[in-house]
């Protein structure tokens, strides 16, 4: 049996994929609390400096129960919208534990965040002016675009010339002039290069570039290097993990040297989203139909791209497992099949021409590493219902942490 067989690793606790689907319905996001806590711990220890802080980027997954666990592991959080802030506050986060990284925020949104007592980062000169008008004399951070991005797809690279994010590093005089005009205190600089890197080099270069911008500001309280830490989505093919230890020790040396030169106590932050939550979840679905169309075998499941958008949006790869009679299909003959969802679009494909066991109607499929940007990007397209979310607690017992949509939910906004 493969070491990645999730049943044998205890991912499903004291239950099985079939039992979970029977009890909570399909499709179903299943999370494992122990895995989530483990990832939080790894990240918390990344940089050895007294003021190192991890701000979990909740856009990856903002389930209230998961946020509570992440907070209990000592992680703060970064938010992108008033909605995320609202959920964070509901989950027990305090305003001073939240960092709002604004992008094209309206005055109303910015005011909501200011009124909530949450620190704002702006990513354009015009948003800095807006902030100044709304909160003269306030403390604010600026998101810098220091030049080069990273990421698994051009849609998720968030620094460099082609992106809408951040203030170009050559606009420092203008930043200072606006700060002066509104008596603002620039207390921090942040950046985010993009999502999913597996080699430390780009992140380290980005950190160095941001630090050379930071030395041109006095009295900063923090520098925030952003997220983007990748996870191995192709574990079944032996993909290695990101070497966090190597990255951490290189980053620690850089920030220690830099702090000595800067001559002031300063905090360093990161903003990981994917790394914290991705591997803590498997998305379960049911095989509802099998068909052969000429040369292709189609495995028709109930996991449409309204439930998991990543394969359709970025051609993302997720490893798959299939289950029958309480165990994983293993040691069977393999064949090529295309695994599809139930959405009315030909592009609704989870995996194209994938080598899989011989799958039959009624089997359960498990789509691995779906904790990040899985449920968070789900929708009601085709008036399909968003799935339930279940958490396997550390004692092995499953707990419903978000119920499935109901048909009545589809009518909610007409009332």
By CB under 6 A, name the binding residues for ligand PLP. 57, 59-60, 78, 101, 158, 192, 195-196, 226-229, 271-275, 372
> Nearest residue by C-beta to ligand LYS?
373
Residues between 155 and 194 with contacts to ligand LYS, criterion CB under 6 A = 156, 158
274 marked as part of a ligand binding site: yes
Which phi and psi (to 5°) does residue 11 adopt? -60, -40
Residue showing tokens 């990421």: 151
**For residues 73 and 271, which CB has a smaller minimum distance to ligand LYS in the complex?**
271
Which partner from the list ligand PLP, ligand LYS, none does 272 bind, CB cut-off 5 to 8 Å by kind? ligand PLP
- What is the DSSP secondary-structure string of 196-210? -BSSSHHHHHHHHHH
365 is catalytic: no
CA distance 174 to 373: 35
Q: Are 143 and 123 in contact (CB under 8 A)?
A: yes
Q: 74 is written with which tokens?
A: 């000592």
Which partner from the list ligand PLP, ligand LYS, none does 53 bind, CB cut-off 5 to 8 Å by kind? none
Contact between 52 and ligand LYS (CB under 6 A)? no
402 marked as part of a ligand binding site: no
Which partner from the list ligand PLP, ligand LYS, none does 285 bind, CB cut-off 5 to 8 Å by kind? none
Residues between 264 and 323 with contacts to ligand LYS, criterion CB under 6 A = 310, 314
Beta strand 98-101 pairing with 119-122: parallel
Read off the DSSP letter of residue 27. S
Question: CB neighbours (10 Å) of residue 400?
Answer: 14
Contact between 143 and ligand LYS (CB under 6 A)? no
Which partner from the list ligand PLP, ligand LYS, none does 86 bind, CB cut-off 5 to 8 Å by kind? none
Task: State in angstroms the smallest separation of the CB of 158 from ligand LYS.
Answer: 6
Give the closest residue to 255 by CA, choosing from 269, 241, 275, 242.
Answer: 269
Residue ranges with strand state E in 114-194: 119-122, 139-145, 167-168, 185-190
Asked if omega into 27 is within 30° of 0 (cis), the reply is yes
Q: Helix, strand or coil for residue 252? A: helix
Numbered residues of the known binding site = 228, 271-274, 310, 314, 345, 373
Contacting residues toward ligand LYS, per CB under 6 A: 59, 156, 158, 195, 310, 314, 373
Numbered residues of the known binding site for pyridoxal 5'-phosphate = 228, 271-274, 373
Q: Which residues are catalytic?
A: 344
């Amino acid at each position: 049996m493969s070491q990645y067989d999730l049943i044998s690793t205890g991912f499903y606790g004291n239950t099985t994929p079939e039992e979970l689907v029977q009890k909570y319905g399909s499709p179903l996001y299943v999370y494992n609390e122990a895995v989530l806590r483990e990832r939080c711990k790894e990240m918390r220890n990344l940089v050895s400096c007294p003021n190192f802080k991890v701000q979990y980027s909740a856009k990856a997954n903002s389930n209230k129960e998961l946020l509570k666990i992440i907070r209990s592991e000592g992680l703060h959080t970064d938010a992108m919208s008033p909605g995320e802030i609202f959920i964070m506050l509901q989950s027990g986060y305090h305003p001073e534990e939240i960092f709002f990284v604004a992008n094209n925020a309206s005055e109303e949104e910015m005011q909501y965040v200011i009124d909530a007592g949450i620190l704002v980062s702006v990513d354009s000169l015009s948003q800095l002016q807006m902030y100044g008008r709304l909160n003269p004399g306030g403390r604010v951070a600026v998101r810098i675009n220091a030049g080069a991005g990273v990421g698994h797809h051009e849609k998720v690279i968030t620094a460099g010339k082609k992106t809408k994010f951040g203030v170009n590093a050559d606009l420092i005089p203008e930043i200072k002039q606006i700060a002066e005009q509104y008596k603002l205190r620039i207390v921090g600089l942040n950046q985010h290069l993009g999502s999913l890197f597996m080699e430390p080099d780009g992140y380290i270069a980005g950190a160095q570039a941001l630090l050379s911008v930071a030395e041109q500001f006095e009295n900063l309280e923090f520098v925030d290097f952003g997220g983007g830490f990748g996870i191995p989505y192709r574990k079944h093919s032996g993909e290695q993990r990101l070497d966090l230890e190597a990255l951490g020790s290189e980053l620690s040396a850089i920030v220690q040297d830099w702090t000595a030169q800067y001559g002031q106590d300063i905090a360093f932050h990161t903003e990981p989203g994917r790394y914290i939550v991705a591997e803590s979840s498997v998305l379960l679905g049911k095989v509802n139909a099998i068909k052969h169309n000429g040369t292709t075998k189609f495995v028709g499941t109930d996991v449409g791209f309204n439930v998991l958008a990543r394969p359709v949006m970025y051609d993302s790869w997720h490893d798959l497992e299939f289950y029958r009679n309480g165990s994983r299909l293993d040691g069977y003959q393999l064949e090529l099949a295309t695994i599809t969802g139930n959405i009315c679009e030909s592009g609704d494909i989870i995996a194209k021409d994938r080598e899989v066991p011989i799958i039959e109607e009624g089997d359960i499929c498990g789509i691995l590493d779906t904790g990040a940007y899985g449920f968070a990007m789900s929708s009601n397209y085709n008036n399909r219902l968003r799935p339930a979310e279940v958490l396997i607690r550390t004692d092995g017992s499953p707990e419903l942490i978000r119920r499935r949509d109901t048909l009545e939910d589809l009518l909610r906004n007409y009332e």
